[in-house]
Structure 1
Amino acid sequence: QSIFQDIFKHQITELILENSDQGRGAISLEEYTENIYARILTFFENLTHLSIVKSSSISEYPPLSIWYLPSTFSSSILTKLNINVRRIHDCFHLLDGRLKQLKILIVEVGYIDNNLQIIHNTNELLNLKSFSLTCYYVTNVYDNQVIPLLRRMTHLEKLTLYIRIDDRSRFVDGTNLHKNILIHMPRLDTFTFYISTDIQFDDSVDHLSDNDIQQTFTNIGYHKIACSVNYYYRKYRAVCHVFSLPFTFNRLEKISNKFPNIIFNTVTYLLVGDIIPFKYEFFIRISKAFPSLKYFSIINITSPLLNFDSYTADNIDSCSSIQYLNLTSLTVNYVDNYYIEQFLLDRKTYAPHLTEIKVHFDRLQAVTENFTRDATRYNCRNIKRLIFEKTINYSKELYLYFPSLLD
């Protein structure tokens, strides 16, 4: 081996890698773990800090899976680890004693599920001072997977939690967090969180308001929080979003017409959805509340108009153009044509960096009048990528309408 390899092997103690590899590719998770993670963890003999970060807020590099690491993998000097893992059980394994000096653990978990066949270490994690858990996919095992894990962290001083919970009978509020988690962390100084809970309700369930939820946090001494409770009566479902202020995360999902009147400076990915139509004023609020927005997904099949076919948006000048100065990707697969038109009309939307649209072909064809409509042509000039629900052979008219398309 070269002299440089020897220097790197023994002298590097802190390593930060930006990973732009794709999560779903030709290489298997087993091969990736063996060829990348295992080599990093075994090659650098004096590594104390290891961070592998994503290249963007929506990228998903192949996660670490403990199953494919050597069974002898351990470290007696690693004190900080920032990494993506495949499942919550990989996180359990990282905390089973193989990283004895670990003080800071930052993990993004692919999904949180049950595996009753695995018995995990339940010892207290006395050295762990800071823990961050992020999971963007909904879980229905928060109570029997996440809570037991957090209860082991009795010496924790800093906790960051981003989690979306489904199929609970009650919202996760301040009372629940205090009873199940916070009371077991007497040294906790900083708690940063975003928690959404999706429940099914009936007429026998008390309908809690934003103030009701907020009061449960005030009761335990947390005053800098915001929340939004939304009831969908047609589906008998309700969603509660509650989070610490200032909001520090880069993703928000399932936001409806009703959301707190604050500025989300860090959010780059946003998904909004509702069974009530989104009016023009809603998008004005979105553009102001999310100034860093890059990836915008909309789900709403209900138009605010009585009849889209009789509506000529080209001729209505009463609404000023809405600016999305950082928007690069728009997903409008499950929407009424009204919303597609709103973003393609240059009189309605100014999005100079929009280069990608995910949309149903038939709807795009209808809104652009088979790729001939002048009023929507300008906002299509910079689109480099169209993602349809099925494979489409692009016509000459489509290429002319979207002159920047990449083959």
Structure 2
Amino acid sequence: MNLSNIGLLDLPYDILLIILKKLNNIDVLYSLLDVDNQRLDIIVQENTFTNTLNFVLTTSTDDISPFTDSILDRFCINILPRIHHNIKSLILDSISMERILLAADYPNLTELKLFNFNGKIVSHYFTVESPFRRIFQRQITDLILVFENDFNEISVKHYTTDVYGYILKFFENLKHLSIGSFPHFFPPLVLRNLPLITFSSSILYKLCIRVGNFLDFLALLDGRLQQLTTLIVAIGDMAYHSSNVYNMDNLPNLKCFSLKCYCLSYEYDAQILPLFCHMSNLEELTLHITIESRTAFIDGTHIYNEILVHMPRLRTFYFCISTDTHMDRLIRHLSRDDIQGTFTNIISEQVDCIVNYRYRSAMCHVFSLPFMFDSLKYIGNKFPTIIFNNVKILAVHDGVPFKHEFFIRIAWSFPLLKQLSVINLKPQSPILDQLTSNDNQLYSIVEYPYLTLLRLEAVHIDYVEQFLNYTKTHLPRLTKLGVNYDQLTIVTENFTRDTTRLNCVKVKQLNINKTLVHSKDFYVYFPFL
């Protein structure tokens, strides 16, 4: 055989299969099925390749590239009917869900992730009349629902009984239910004063949900989910004023617990810390907590003595605990090294912290590495040289000016940033004219490729210039902007300046805290408002 003429199809079966498994499943299916080669066709359809397929078909999500109608047609007509029996997991958009589920039978489908979910999906498809009743009611064990972006909050009160509670009853074999959205704007579970049967299951072992307040959280753990081993919960409000008594004697089956909340210092001491005394069987703990008005920063000593000491079986601990307080309330002013020195008995292999002392307030974040959370709020000029790959929401605040280089560091450290809030009333430079010059090329351009929301309501005008001037910052996806209107008119030269036009042209939502009759130039500047 002439080695120079060996092609892909000449390789042995086992080697060819290894190559295909290294490729994206969708790429393989789209590229190789129906290429008029029987050997490839068999390999792609065989159970050895597609039995672990997580099949992704969507039309309008941010995180997954959408299919065109022509590609979707090919999958529904030519591909899905040939591999349907091997598909175990589907990730779908609600717009294309019906079309894809009707394209074939899916006898082994057990997991469904549905984007752009809403209450209408429940009333239309999660019923006994639905053509997908068998799949939903009997087959699905793992259900992940991601709410649509324009959810109407008027209907919040109906979701606990008519959506969440109904889902647990309709999906007879449901063992894992996750409900969420980005950035966490979806109707919470509201259980207070409702009977145990409202949201209950004897087989559900994993739940990811947001609850309305702390009382709803306690109700969630009061025996209605007896087999729960994993609970991932965000608490919207820590208010707790009730004569109701909930059973928190023990949580014997709970092995994995994740909590996200914002609370005052007394709420943390009286409501959060006592929870951990009932979680002696935990093996994995995740905490994302912000505490306000405390007299001392949370450090390693506190975490060990007040939390970890109650969990002898704990193997994994992820955390970001932030303490926000007024300067005059602090007992001691500690440095970053002082705080890191207290982490001697923590399970996490690496721990870091950010301490930001401002004029009247102070903020301290202590966290495990790698950083596991999607938001980080109110860091200042000083933060460690770390890449925060998971952070999509960031707020920066300092009494010391943010230089151009600071925003370059932010872009490097937070590469997937989608939402940024800036608070700083100090000017970047004493010479405003130098900053607002159209031909200023002193600095390299800052790139925020994924940023969709920018808040500049409480900043010096220099920062409006910093972000809207295309020669300093590129914001190709900016669609929501909060800014002082007077500063906006100055920086944009009454909406005529070309250098700031490009970063504004895609804005669909503009928060200027004023109701005004705008000029024609204004609407030309923001054509998509």
Offset of residue 253 of structure 1: 0.5
C-alpha contact (below 8 Å) 2:434/2:440 kept by paired residues: no
Post-superposition Cα deviations, 1:55-91, rounded to whole Å, max 9, x if no partner, equal x2x1410101003754433322111111111112212
2:273 and 2:307 in contact (8 A); partners too: yes
Give the aligned partner of residue 182 of structure 1.
Answer: 308
**Higher mean displacement: 310-319 or 330-339:** 310-319
Instruction: Give the C-alpha shift of residue 200 in structure 1.
Output: 3.2
Residue type matched to 2:145 in 1?
L
Closer, same or farther: CA 328–202 of 1 in aligned 2, 3 Å: closer
| Alpha carbons of structure 1 residues 24 and 178: separation in structure 2 relative to 1, 3 Å | farther
Match of 1:158 among 284, 288, 305: 284
Q: Secondary structure at the match of 1:164?
A: strand
Assess, with a 3 A threshold, how the Cα gap between structure 1 residues 8 and 228 changes in structure 2: closer, same or farther. closer
Give the distance between the partners of 1:357 and 1:20, measured in 2 at CA.
Answer: 21
Name the aligned partner's letter for residue 50 of structure 1.
L
* Residue 133 of structure 2: aligned partner: 5
Deviates more, 1:371-380 or 1:296-305: 371-380
State the 1:97 CA deviation.
Answer: 1.6
Give the 3 Å change call, closer, same or farther, for CA 346–311 of structure 1 in structure 2: closer
Moved more, 85-94 or 177-186: 85-94
Question: Structure 1 CA distance, aligned partners of 2:408 and 2:474?
Answer: 12
| 1:371-390 Cα shifts (integer Å, max 9, x gaps) | 12233223223333322213
Q: Is the 8 A contact 1:38 1:70 kept in 2?
A: no
Select the structure of larger CA radius of gyration: 2
Name the counterpart of 1:18. Answer: 146
The residue number in structure 2 matching 1:39 is 166
Task: Choose the corresponding residue for 1:355, options 479, 499, 516.
Answer: 479
Aligned with 2:303: secondary structure?
Answer: helix
Determine the structure 2 residue equivalent to 1:277. Answer: 401
The answer (yes or no) to whether the contact 1:30–1:68 under 8 Å persists in 2 is no
Q: TM (normalized to structure 2)? A: 0.71
Q: 309-318 or 62-71, which moves further after superposition?
A: 309-318
Query: Does the CA contact (< 8 Å) of 1:34 and 1:68 recur in 2?
Result: no
1:276 and 1:33 map into 2 onto residues whose CA distance is 46
Return the match for 2:337 from 182, 199, 211.
211
Give the CA deviation at 1:302: 1.4
Q: How many Å separate the matches in 1 of 2:147 and 2:498? A: 41
Q: Is 1:67 matched with 2:214?
A: no
- 2:499 maps to what in 1? 375
1:255 positional shift:
1.1
Q: Which residue of 2 aligns with 1:226?
A: 352
2:219 match:
93
C-alpha offsets along residues 304-342 of structure 1, whole Å, 9 cap, x if unaligned? 222536754324321111111111221111111110111
Structure 2 residue identity aligned to 1:271: A
Residue type at the aligned position of 2:221 = L
* Deviation readout 1:333-355 (Å, 9 max, x if unpaired): 11111101111111101222222
Residues of 1 paired with 2:335 and 2:524: CA distance?
51
Deviation at 1:290, TM superposition (A): 0.6
Distance 1:283 1:8, change over 3 A: closer
Query: Secondary structure in 1 aligned to 2:371?
Result: coil
Secondary structure, counterpart of 1:72 in structure 2? helix
CA distance in 1, matches of 2:390, 2:209: 20
Greater RCO, CA 8 A, separation 6+: 1
In 2, the alpha carbon distance for the partners of 1:38 and 1:204 equals: 45
2:233 alignment partner, SS class: strand
Give matches, 1:173-322, under 5 Å.
173-202=299-328, 205-220=331-346, 222-232=348-358, 234-235=359-360, 237-308=361-432, 311-322=435-446
Shift of 1:203: 9.4
Q: Structure 2 counterpart of 1:387, which letter?
A: N
- Which residue, out of 50, 53, 78, partners 2:180? 53
SS in 1 for 2:159: helix
Q: Tell me if structure 2 keeps the 8 A contact 1:134–1:163.
A: yes
Amino acid at match of 2:503: N
Q: Cα RMSD over matched residues?
A: 2.2
Query: What SS does the aligned partner of 2:321 have?
Result: strand
Work out whether residues 455 and 482 of structure 2, in 8 Å CA contact, stay in contact via their aligned partners in 1: yes
Aligned partners of 1:183, 1:22: CA distance in 2, in Å?
A: 43
Q: 1:221 to 1:187 in 2, by over 3 A?
A: closer
1:266-299 CA deviation, whole Å, 9 max, x = no partner?
1111111112211111111111111101111111
Q: CA deviation at 1:44?
A: 2.2
Residue in 1 that maps onto 2:514:
390
Aligned to 2:309, what secondary structure does the other structure show?
helix
1:357 Cα deviation after fit? 1.2
Aligned position for 2:232: 106
Which amino acid is 2:493 matched to? E
Any idea what SS the aligned residue of 1:390 has? Answer: coil
Quote the Cα distance in structure 1 between the aligned partners of 2:501 and 2:204. 55
State the alpha-carbon separation in 1 of the partners of residues 512 and 363 from structure 2: 30
Residues 170-179 or 215-224, more deviating: 215-224
Is the Cα–Cα contact under 8 Å of residues 316 and 347 in structure 2 kept in the other structure?
no
Q: Contact 1:38–1:69 at 8 Å: present in 2 too? A: no
2:400 and 2:426 in contact (8 A); partners too: yes
Question: Is the Cα contact below 8 Å between 1:111 and 1:139 reproduced in 2?
Answer: no
Worse-superposed segment, 15-24 or 248-257: 15-24
Instruction: Report the CA distance shift for 1:323/1:259 in structure 2 as closer, same or farther (over 3 A).
Output: same
Residue identity opposite 2:142 in structure 1? E
SS at match of 1:227: strand
CA distance in 2 between counterparts of 1:203 and 1:89 reads 29
| Alpha-carbon contact 1:20-1:59 (below 8 Å) kept | no
Cα shift at 1:252: 0.8
Count of residue pairs the alignment pairs up: 399
